[in-house]
Amino acid sequence: MDNLKIGHFIQYMRKKAGMTQSELAEKLSISFQAVSKWETGETLPDTGILLPLSDSLGVTVDTLLNGGSMVLNERRLMRVEDVIIGFEHLEDIGRCFGENCTFFTGMIEGINEKMNIDILEYLGHQNTREVMWAEVLIQGIMAGRAVDMNEVESAFTNRKMVDTIRSYMEKAGQI
């Protein structure tokens, strides 16, 4: 395990949740110094705190322990959570680099041209955002990756997208 990568991911998710180190520590009934040590990579969270920590940060324990990296099991599971985080990171690039940064605008223009869409417009609305998530999941299913239908049903509000994903899973023999 990479302590520094895990620590940076904890810090990223804590800030994304709008919490200070002290607020996260209070939620977990620990000291803010413990949170600080995790975030600097000095120590890792104790096993007894992993579930409450991952719940507080809104991630799975395996994602937490892999520093935010996609975790695949032997079935090559594609997690909805990872797809959602991927799109959030895409938006974060614009915020971090600036929306007028050549790198960001080039990336967005490339996606728009390749997919014949306006991705930032799509990501600006919940229904079209879910369409993007579904597209990535369907591409994964078609490439032989597995998807947990329970996770799909809990993440999506658009029932049509859930049904579409289910139909692709049925065609792939996953259901």
Separation CA 78–CA 66 (nearest Å): 15
- Give the alpha-carbon dihedral of 115, 111, 140, 162, to 10 degrees: -70
DSSP for 91-117, written as a single string: HHHHHHH-TT-HHHHHHHHHHHHHHTS
What's the mean per-residue pLDDT of the chain?
89
Domain 3-65 has CATH 1.10.260.40: yes
Q: CA nearest 123: which of 136, 114, 132?
A: 132
Residue predicted with more confidence, 77 or 158: 158
Rounded to 5°, the CA angle 62-143-88 comes to 50
In sequence order, what are the beta bridge partners of 147?
78
pLDDT digits (tens, 9 = 90+) for 56-107: 998 888 788 888 765 544 457 889 999 999 999 988 999 999 989 999 999 9
Give me the residue spans of the domains in the chain: 3-65, 77-171
